[in-house]
Structure 1
Amino acid sequence: MRLKKGLAGIVLLSLIGFAAAGCAGNKGNEGEASSSSSQSPTQSQESGSASSEAPTEKTIYTMGVEESKLIWGGSITKKLTEKTGVELKYDAVLGDLFQKWDIWLAASDYPDIIRLDNEHLQKYIDAGAVIPLDELIDQYGPNIKAKWGDSLNLLKHDDGHIYSLYSVNATKEAPANAKAGFVVQYDVLKEAGFPTIKTLDQLYDVVKAYAAKHPKIDGKDTIAFGAAMNSWTINVFFNNAGISAAGRPDHGNFVVEDSGDVHWNPVSNYTKDYYKFMNKLFNENLLDKEAFSMGEQELKAKMAQGRVLAAYAPSWFSNPPEASLRAAELLDRQYAHIPVYFNESVSDHSNAMTIANGGTHEWAITANAKNPEKIIKFFDYLFSDEGQILTQWGIEGVHYELKDGKRTQTAEWVKQKLADPDAIFKEGFRSEYTGQVTNWFSIGDGAKLADGDFATPITQESVRSEYDEKTLEVLDKYGISTWADLLPPVEKVPAYLWQLPPPSDSKFKVVDQKLDDLRRKTTSQIIMAKDDAEFEKLFAAFVASAKDIGLDMYEESFTKIWKDYLAEYNATLSK
């Protein structure tokens, strides 16, 4: 069922305001005593409070993660172990994450807890590699049920079982730390007189002028515009960028029309127009010459060096390089986050919000895990109000203090975060993501707990308190308080297409792989075209080849998935 199956819950939640590697199965549990239900705190479903009685025995569970900076042993994670008796042994995946997931599955050698996207989750379900969670949640998950409410059905698959958990979005508006996807260096804007930039042509003009005047930055070649195509990054820098410039909601590699018809975005006019922009950059030596061969870490490293003037780089991607720039006191090399469009007539609907954040970051318990009851109790604690405060706010007196009965980050902790970009990892505030950019099953920035206070410290005041003087200066030049002020109003969408499971038949999978191979083979050729005539010829040939592969069937399959979901959703709304 997945999303399309939990419609009664979706409607109710809408009405109440949106109230890895090398893990040899369960080896992380060797020598550890199993726990019973009495060893984990008992939470109240109404208040989300947890018992102060801590488990007497500790169990170590393995978890493969993508983020290499995650550690267990900071003040937050130590407190989690104290409260739940669970310790996670992080093992960072090196190389291609999707390939690693497949290798684990093929060898039946996966960690106790695994984070998957919905496509790989289905593979694991089909292989019996992950266990159903619904009965465990029913017995040991009062806080999970309380936070999800009737929308717990949202988590169910077609067989009626729940196999994964992720963050539920209880927020009513965009968080104060939301940012546009395109970024431009402060110094570029300063030299140009802090101009208004709304279009790709205006962005092109300012970076071209700056690059011509500053061909090198700190002895290294200036990169006017950065991008990366290796592995999954092609979806961000060569797909999502065009969708953003068109002001469309992020349905992944797809465009969903108002009619419900679904189209593969790589063959759309949005992609063609964006490729044309990149072709212009390439032919004037403004596009990174290594854009077609490098991936995530290489681009982040170049941005952290301060020599990438502009890029499409959403905050989840640009935040780490910016933290490094601040640590190196290269404040002028930080980035303004500006909405940029194909033209000034674009109507921006990109600032969309869904009810839940599943699809790519779903936590599951594998068949190798011993005593899964204890893992569910651990998850349940994370969903409790006490767990939310601990993982999002930290420890009282260290990370936050109470002022007039409200939680406020301490000045010392704010300074520590600004001085050390890895402080949030060291303290344990970061986990493997549990939906979009949320950690530890956050219920969302702007959401409130039972005590009436915010679930996370992300407010306009807290966001501004963490800005350095250079950022405040740039914001003042544009007459705004935070980068979120540049975004359009939030629009609620029933779901993102990428949150729905793709078709599972073998014919579809063959077409899917061939289309991906075609895109990867031809994208660089199109963008490197020497003139307009060659560009048009190559793009037309790409579209024709996609149709020959089976594009029509591919789009029809996704259209059916989307329309079936909407039909059920709308039918429930009308009841």
Structure 2
Amino acid sequence: MKMKGFIILALAATIALSGCSANKSGSGNEPTNSTNSGSSATPDASAAPVDLNWFATVGGWNPPQWNTDEGTVMGELTKKTGLTFSYNIPAQDGDTKLNLMMVSTSDAFPDVITTIGPDMGKKLVDAGKVWELEEFLKKYDPESHLLKDFPADVKEQMVKHYGGWYAIGSHMVSDDAREVYPPSSDYFADVAKYSENKGVIVNSNLLKEAGIELSSLKTEEGVLAALEKVKGMQVDGQPVIPLQIHGKNYHGETLQFLQRSFGAMPIDKDGKFRHIYMSPENKHAIQFLFKAAQGGYFDPGQMTTDDVAIESNLLSKRVFMFIGGTPRGKFDQLDFWVSPGTILSSEGTKPVFPFVSEPGRGWMQTMISKSTKEPEKLAKWLSFMTSPEGMTLSSFGIEGVHYTKDDKGLITRTEKGIQDLTDSSKTAVDIFWQFTNMAFLENVQPAPTKREGTGGLIEMEAKTAYARSPEVVRYDLSVTTLPGDFYAPGSENANTRDQIQQFYEAQVAKMVLAKDEAEFNKLYDEFIATMKKLKIDELNAELDAELQKKSQEMGVMVKGINS
């Protein structure tokens, strides 16, 4: 996930629980501790299901081809909704393809659209391509629970961004969502406060073999010394990989963690907006990877690999340290991960943890096309997929097969449920992330007692270690929330932002792989000069005006902790 200006996806405690794919699923009995009623989807059992088209720009989403077999998640969904789906999920350039479809004169516009990022959904709304959901539901499913229990605070953020309630957001978490689905345990409040999906995890087996103390990895110097020490080790006759970075998205995962650990903020000591890329701490984060490359601690080829390659390296058990998106940690198969929490900068800066006091709109945004020929079926489908019955089915599977319930109605996966979750791209157990509701998951699951497995204590300890570290300073990033039209598609602000991001990614790669420190510094000076030519100062000025306005509105003033 790339950091672009103020775009904030409030997923700190969200994907921590689902890992974008760590749930379970049920046949249709509502959780006994839920305050919500079920769905209104009641298709004619004798009618043939209707097939609709679902377009998604979400990289990494890989649902199986739809089947209507009895006793499967998709079969049960079809039975409940009367729908099947054909998918259009471009491997790349999804936004570009959707843009072309928007201006095409053909009738082949998708029925359902799922986007990520702040721009594409806004384009669909501005082009009049998608339904405002309150209007849509009142017209086609007036008894929908969504008209009564959709979180008001999340809806407010939708209205601010889109000008209306146009989407169902995935991984929603908010105060109002928890009013509908109260957490089953205080444990979840703790996770919500501390969990972070970017971090550092270490192979405790290799740590022990090398005779290294975990506490020594809390400093930059200690980490570099440890990477040097393990460089010659082997696992099953193969060389240890001292450091694994987050593949081709290292600048959006690995570097973002290092930025925070080294204390970078998008706000300076005077309380003014300053792009995080222009902070000294960002330079230091890049410099850390430069030193790691100089030491031969990671293969430069890692900088172009995908998630499959990352997970393959991790599963080989040869990786000593992974810095990046912790959901890639394969906690369902690897039980040796530990975390030092922070990597403290040699410059003495304090690590920071941004939290968001205002709810977000969610990660994925799912919208309904105005051109669909089945609006009533889709309205009832939305109502079902967001109901306790629908969320249990899509997240957990079939009761008695994939999960069981205790006397409080709390859900625990069976062995088959765990296996089918691992094979979600074949079984569809927890593949419909678009309807993951974090408050619901906290409501229907007990706090974990097992250390291993997705969502287990090892994973939670790894994901909360950073924010729990006593050195970390928390600050409210909500003051950086932007109005929905700030980066209007095609606007000067959007163009400037995109040019900055493209240049940043290209120049960072050059800096990380610089032949020596002199070349690194030369490239960094070029980086600063080009950023100014790309009008980053002008963009900062506009962003600062929004920051000051938002700070006054919230009554919250944030100042930089370090530079």
Query: What is the identity, as a one-letter code, of the residue corresponding to 2:245?
Result: A
Q: Deviations over 1:2-23 (max 9, x none)?
A: xxxxxxxxxxxxxxxxxxxxxx
Query: What is the identity, as a one-letter code, of the residue corresponding to 1:59?
Result: V
Q: What is the alpha-carbon distance in structure 2 between the residues aligned to residue 500 and residue 341 of structure 1?
A: 34
Structure 1 residues 159 and 96: alpha-carbon distance in aligned structure 2, compared to 1, 3 A threshold: closer
Q: TM-score, normalised by structure 1?
A: 0.73
Q: Which residue number in structure 2 is paired with residue 150 of structure 1? A: 152
Moved more, 377-386 or 545-554: 377-386
Q: What is the alpha-carbon distance in structure 2 between the residues aligned to residue 190 and residue 391 of structure 1?
A: 41
Q: Which residue number in structure 1 is paired with residue 114 of structure 2? A: 115
SS at 2:293 equivalent: helix
Query: What is the identity, as a one-letter code, of the residue corresponding to 1:155?
Result: M
Question: What is the CA distance between 1:135 and its match in structure 2?
Answer: 0.4
Matched, 1:67 2:60: yes
CA contact (8 A) 1:278 1:287 kept: no
Structure 1 residues 388 and 347: alpha-carbon distance in aligned structure 2, compared to 1, 3 A threshold: farther
Matched, 1:316 2:322: no
Structure 1 residues 257 and 60: alpha-carbon distance in aligned structure 2, compared to 1, 3 A threshold: farther
Query: What is the total number of aligned residue pairs between the two structures?
Result: 486
Q: Deviations over 1:38-82 (max 9, x none)?
A: xxxxxxx97322368554443222223433531244723322222
Query: What is the identity, as a one-letter code, of the residue corresponding to 1:543?
Result: I
Q: Which residue number in structure 1 is paired with residue 310 of structure 2? A: 299
Q: What is the alpha-carbon distance in structure 2 between the residues aligned to residue 544 and residue 430 of structure 1?
A: 47
Q: What is the alpha-carbon distance in structure 2 between the residues aligned to residue 528 and residue 548 of structure 1?
A: 24
Structure 1 residues 118 and 80: alpha-carbon distance in aligned structure 2, compared to 1, 3 A threshold: same
Structure 1 residues 124 and 51: alpha-carbon distance in aligned structure 2, compared to 1, 3 A threshold: closer
505, 508, 529: which one aligns with 2:493: 508
Q: What is the alpha-carbon distance in structure 1 between the residues aligned to residue 254 and residue 504 of structure 2?
A: 13
Structure 1 residues 495 and 122: alpha-carbon distance in aligned structure 2, compared to 1, 3 A threshold: same
Matched, 1:211 2:228: no
Structure 1 residues 566 and 367: alpha-carbon distance in aligned structure 2, compared to 1, 3 A threshold: farther
Query: What is the identity, as a one-letter code, of the residue corresponding to 2:544?
Result: T
Consecutive unaligned residues of structure 1, counting only runs of 5 or more, are 1-44, 249-253, 435-439, 448-453
Structure 1 residues 421 and 200: alpha-carbon distance in aligned structure 2, compared to 1, 3 A threshold: farther
Q: What is the alpha-carbon distance in structure 2 between the residues aligned to residue 383 and residue 376 of structure 1?
A: 11
Question: What is the CA distance between 1:104 and its match in structure 2?
Answer: 3.9
Matched, 1:237 2:262: no
Matched, 1:129 2:129: yes
Question: What is the CA distance between 1:182 and its match in structure 2?
Answer: 1.4
SS at 1:70 equivalent: coil
CA contact (8 A) 1:226 1:308 kept: yes
Q: Which residue number in structure 2 is paired with residue 379 of structure 1? A: 382
Question: What is the CA distance between 1:223 and its match in structure 2?
Answer: 3.2
Aligned pairs for 1:221-232 within 5 A: 222-227=240-245, 230=248
Structure 1 residues 389 and 62: alpha-carbon distance in aligned structure 2, compared to 1, 3 A threshold: same
Q: What is the alpha-carbon distance in structure 2 between the residues aligned to residue 312 and residue 179 of structure 1?
A: 11
Matched, 1:272 2:269: no
Q: What is the alpha-carbon distance in structure 1 between the residues aligned to residue 420 and residue 393 of structure 2?
A: 21
Question: What is the CA distance between 1:369 and its match in structure 2?
Answer: 2.3
CA contact (8 A) 1:62 1:90 kept: yes
Structure 1 residues 62 and 285: alpha-carbon distance in aligned structure 2, compared to 1, 3 A threshold: same
Q: What is the alpha-carbon distance in structure 2 between the residues aligned to residue 357 and residue 79 of structure 1?
A: 31
Matched, 1:187 2:210: no
CA contact (8 A) 2:63 2:425 kept: yes
CA contact (8 A) 2:411 2:446 kept: no
SS at 1:181 equivalent: strand
Structure 1 residues 372 and 541: alpha-carbon distance in aligned structure 2, compared to 1, 3 A threshold: same
Structure 1 residues 513 and 409: alpha-carbon distance in aligned structure 2, compared to 1, 3 A threshold: closer
Structure 1 residues 402 and 132: alpha-carbon distance in aligned structure 2, compared to 1, 3 A threshold: closer
Q: Deviations over 1:166-196 (max 9, x none)?
A: 0431354425986661122233222234522
CA contact (8 A) 1:191 1:210 kept: no
Q: Which residue number in structure 2 is paired with residue 28 of structure 1? A: none
Question: What is the CA distance between 1:552 and its match in structure 2?
Answer: 0.8
Query: What is the identity, as a one-letter code, of the residue corresponding to 2:146?
Result: I
Moved more, 485-494 or 162-171: 485-494
Query: What is the identity, as a one-letter code, of the residue corresponding to 1:112?
Result: D
CA contact (8 A) 2:266 2:274 kept: yes
Q: What is the alpha-carbon distance in structure 1 between the residues aligned to residue 314 and residue 452 of structure 2?
A: 24
Structure 1 residues 48 and 302: alpha-carbon distance in aligned structure 2, compared to 1, 3 A threshold: same
CA contact (8 A) 2:200 2:339 kept: yes
Structure 1 residues 89 and 47: alpha-carbon distance in aligned structure 2, compared to 1, 3 A threshold: same
CA contact (8 A) 1:228 1:299 kept: yes
Query: What is the identity, as a one-letter code, of the residue corresponding to 2:254?
Result: F
CA contact (8 A) 1:245 1:340 kept: yes
Aligned pairs for 1:7-406 within 5 A: 47-50=36-39, 53-56=42-45, 57=47, 58-65=49-56, 66-67=59-60, 69-71=62-64, 72-73=66-67, 75-105=72-102, 107=104, 110-116=109-115, 117-139=117-139, 140=141, 142-151=144-153, 152-157=155-160, 160-167=163-170, 168-169=172-173, 170=177, 172-174=189-191, 181-193=199-211, 194-196=213-215, 197-214=217-234, 217=235, 222-227=240-245, 230=248, 234-238=251-255, 240-246=256-262, 255-256=266-267, 261-319=272-330, 323=332, 326=333, 331=334, 335-343=337-345, 347-350=350-353, 352-353=355-356, 355-358=358-361, 360-406=363-409
CA contact (8 A) 1:70 1:425 kept: yes
Q: Deviations over 1:315-351 (max 9, x none)?
A: 33334xx55xx3xxxx57x543442223396655427
Query: What is the identity, as a one-letter code, of the residue corresponding to 1:503?
Result: Y
Query: What is the identity, as a one-letter code, of the residue corresponding to 1:243?
Result: Q
435, 453, 465: which one aligns with 1:486: 465
Q: Which residue number in structure 2 is paired with residue 553 of structure 1? A: 538
CA contact (8 A) 1:400 1:407 kept: no
Q: What is the alpha-carbon distance in structure 2 between the residues aligned to residue 515 and residue 296 of structure 1?
A: 25
439, 449, 452: which one aligns with 1:444: 439
Q: What is the alpha-carbon distance in structure 1 between the residues aligned to residue 150 and residue 487 of structure 2?
A: 27
SS at 1:313 equivalent: strand
CA contact (8 A) 1:200 1:342 kept: yes
Structure 1 residues 120 and 351: alpha-carbon distance in aligned structure 2, compared to 1, 3 A threshold: same
Moved more, 148-157 or 218-227: 218-227
Q: Which residue number in structure 2 is paired with residue 38 of structure 1? A: none
Structure 1 residues 159 and 268: alpha-carbon distance in aligned structure 2, compared to 1, 3 A threshold: closer
Q: Which residue number in structure 2 is paired with residue 459 of structure 1? A: 447
CA-based RMSD? 3.8
Q: What is the alpha-carbon distance in structure 1 between the residues aligned to residue 363 and residue 267 of structure 2?
A: 19
SS at 2:243 equivalent: strand
Structure 1 residues 305 and 55: alpha-carbon distance in aligned structure 2, compared to 1, 3 A threshold: farther
Q: What is the alpha-carbon distance in structure 2 between the residues aligned to residue 570 and residue 55 of structure 1?
A: 54
Question: What is the CA distance between 1:92 and its match in structure 2?
Answer: 3.4
Question: What is the CA distance between 1:90 and its match in structure 2?
Answer: 2.9
Query: What is the identity, as a one-letter code, of the residue corresponding to 1:546?
Result: M
Question: What is the CA distance between 1:209 and its match in structure 2?
Answer: 1.2
Matched, 1:527 2:520: no
Structure 1 residues 115 and 547: alpha-carbon distance in aligned structure 2, compared to 1, 3 A threshold: same
SS at 1:78 equivalent: helix
Q: What is the alpha-carbon distance in structure 2 between the residues aligned to residue 207 and residue 297 of structure 1?
A: 24
Q: Kindly, what percent of the aligned residue pairs are identical?
A: 18
SS at 2:518 equivalent: helix
Structure 1 residues 295 and 503: alpha-carbon distance in aligned structure 2, compared to 1, 3 A threshold: same
Structure 1 residues 465 and 236: alpha-carbon distance in aligned structure 2, compared to 1, 3 A threshold: closer
Q: Deviations over 1:469-519 (max 9, x none)?
A: xx98xx6xxxx9843552436979474857864422632233223322321
Q: Deviations over 1:118-165 (max 9, x none)?
A: 211122223333333230134536322333343333321567422221
Question: What is the CA distance between 1:202 and its match in structure 2?
Answer: 2.2
